[in-house]
Amino acid sequence: MHCWSGSVDAELVVAEGDIAKLVSDLRTLIPAGSDVANTVAAIVADVRARGDAALAEYTSRFDLGGGPAPALEVPAQLIADAAGQLDPAVRLALELAIDNVGAVGEAAVNPDVTVSRNGATVKVKEAPVSSAAVYVPGGRAPYPSTVVMGVTTARAAGVGDVVVCSPPTDDEEINHVILAACWLTGVRAVYRMGGAQSIAALAYGTQTIQPVDVIVGPGNLYVQEAKRQVSARVGLDGFAGPSDLLVIADPNADPGPITLDLLAQAEHGPGTLVLAASTSRELLTALADGIGQSANTGAVCRLIELQNQSQAFELAQAFAPEHLQLIGTEAEALADVVTRAGSVFVGADAGTAFGDYIAGSNHILPTDGAARFASSLSARTFRRTFTEVRVTDPTTLAQAAAPLARAEGFERHAQSMEARIRDNRGR
């Protein structure tokens, strides 16, 4: 990997042969989070033991600078009032996003399927979980769009009981646009709590909060570690780290919109990794110039000069980006073959920001290369499959399976099946 000095916030990098090594080097540009496992374990244990009292103490300490913690549950009237006070343009955007995300969510709900073979009929069935919670971060900015992504998708999956939690701000309240989004999506309750303590409360329950079946939503390192520690107790969407974006562009692509796409993702701040790759050094230099004129967000940007188009495919598959943008005829052809990305945006007009807000795809996506094995939030996150079995020919199945059971040392398993053989039962 060879680098030239670029602008303050970006560097040009030449991809020289080993794409896997290049990707490994790029990933190390984002430092690993500190080890917070012990701290989180103590918080989870405390909330599990003391419930509401522990939540109030942690909310006061971590969210309100020592000030008194407000009541956990936001009054329903306050949520309704927030919706009534919403800017009409923002409300229109939220309603369109809810409609689009809901339509895409419903597409992931599958009908039951029945398979009959060799004397047995197995029906693969789906059912939604009974309850779910959406964690909506506070901190740098409010995220009403996360309410839409989480709650609307849970509703599309058929979940009847959906709650939201978000940390209160200095005025002891949750941002009013978040509350309005909660009203528009029809959540059952909104709780003023954040951090690891909120995940513990949602997993185990407190005097006020009922435990849920699934918890989804982004959050800081403490939230993600808490999700990991309660993963045996509840279903989860995954462990979301800092955001990342890979743009692959043909030489004739317009650098202006691409620069904005990179900067838009960089708005997520420190820990964010944004990449643009092309065979054109001229395009990459133009991107470096545009990025260098912007404010420094703390995000890391690398501009990768590819030797040939085949490296673009290798890079996309190896990096497994949270967001992948393909711009130009050759780049867009990769959409048919790339399999490792959280969400793929095809064409010059398909900026990642559309997926973050309103296109209908979900913005809760696998990060840090987890798109190799993980999926975006979808209705399937809130649904579980199970099977219904009917045996129409016990004789054939028992005669085939009993020797296998005995090979494993399970005599009673073998006898249980053999007891159904028709000749043994006088039939």
Give the pLDDT confidence of 80-109 residue by residue, as tens digits: 999 999 999 999 999 999 999 999 999 999
How confident is the model at residue 150, as a pLDDT?
Answer: 98
pLDDT of 120? 95
- Return the percentage of the chain with pLDDT > 70, whole number: 96
Asked if 303 and 11 count as a contact pair (C-beta separation under 8 A), the reply is: yes
Interatomic CA distance for residues 155 and 149, integer angstroms:
10
For strands 120-128 and 244-249, give the pairing.
Answer: unpaired
Give the rounded percent of residues in the chain with a pLDDT score beyond 90.
Answer: 87
Residues 353 and 246 in one domain: yes
On the question of pLDDT at 33 being above 90, the answer is no
Residue 128 has a pLDDT of 97
CB 240 within 8 A of CB 136: no
Residue 7 clears pLDDT 60, i.e. is over it: no
The single residue listed with the structure tokens 């309660």 is 230
Domain match, 225 and 309 both: no
In a domain, 382, yes or no: no
pLDDT on residue 424: 60
Does the pLDDT at position 31 exceed 70? yes
Look at residue 113 and tell me if it is in a domain.
Answer: no
Strand partners of residue 132: 162, 214
Q: Are residues 137 and 205 in the same domain?
A: yes
- One domain, residues 223 and 325: no
Domain membership flag for residue 202: yes
pLDDT on residue 297: 85
Q: Is residue 136 part of a domain?
A: yes
* pLDDT tens digits, 117-128: 999 999 999 999
Residue 335 exposed, middle or buried by CB count within 10 Å (0-12, 13-18, 19+): middle
Rg (CA), the chain: 25
Using pLDDT thresholds of 50, 70 and 90, give the confidence band for residue 5.
Answer: very low
Gap between the Cα atoms of 36 and 227, Å rounded: 12
Please indicate, yes or no, whether residues 274 and 399 belong to a single structural domain of this protein: no
Among 361, 382, 415, give the residue marking a domain's end.
Answer: 361
**Catalytic position from the list 225, 268, 305, 323:** 323
| Mean per-residue pLDDT, 189-203 | 97
Same domain, yes or no: 137 and 202: yes
pLDDT at 9: 56
- Higher per-residue pLDDT: 144 or 141: 144
Domain assignment present for 351: yes
Residue whose token pair is 């975006």: 376
Span of 24-28, 294-298, 358-362 with lowest mean pLDDT: 294-298
Look at residue 310 and tell me if it is in a domain: yes
Return all residues near 264 (Cβ < 8 A) that are at least 6 apart.
351, 352, 353
Average pLDDT value for residue range 230-241: 92
- Is 11 an active-site residue? no
What is the distance between the alpha carbons of residues 228 and 242, in angstroms, rounded to a whole number? 16
**Amino acid making up residue 41:** A
- Between CA 49 and CA 60, with CA 55 as vertex, the angle to 5 degrees is 140
Which band of pLDDT confidence, cut at 50, 70 and 90, is reported for residue 292?
Answer: confident
Number of domains in the chain: 3
Here the CATH number for the domain that contains residue 339 is 3.40.50.1980
Residues 126, 5: Cα–Cα separation, whole Å:
54
Q: Which of 225, 268, 305, 322 is catalytic?
A: 322
Rounded mean pLDDT of the chain?
A: 93
Residue 220 amino acid letter: N
Same domain? 159 vs 200: yes
Element (H, E) at 163: strand 161-166
Co-location of 287 and 152 in the same domain: no
Q: Whole-model pTM above 0.95?
A: no
Which pLDDT belongs to residue 425? 56
pLDDT at 427 over 80: no
In a domain, 115, yes or no: no
pLDDT attached to residue 4 = 34
Of 212, 236, 260, which one is at a domain's C-terminal end? 236
Final residue belonging to a domain, choices 188, 220, 236: 236
pLDDT number for residue 381:
97
67 and 203 together in one domain? yes
| pLDDT value of position 257 | 97
| 323 has catalytic annotation | yes
The boundaries of the domain holding residue 345 are 2-30+242-361
Closest CA to 308 of 346, 251, 257: 251
Same domain, 82 and 187: yes
- Closest by Cα among 330, 291, 339 to 308: 330
User: 406 and 321 in one domain?
Assistant: no
Q: How far apart are the first and last CA of the chain?
A: 75
pLDDT of residue 270: 87
What phi and psi values does residue 235 have, to the nearest 5 degrees? -80, 150
Residues 94, 202: one domain? yes
Closest CA to 331 of 272, 246, 256: 246
Domain for residue 334, yes or no? yes
Does residue 346 carry a pLDDT above 80?
A: yes
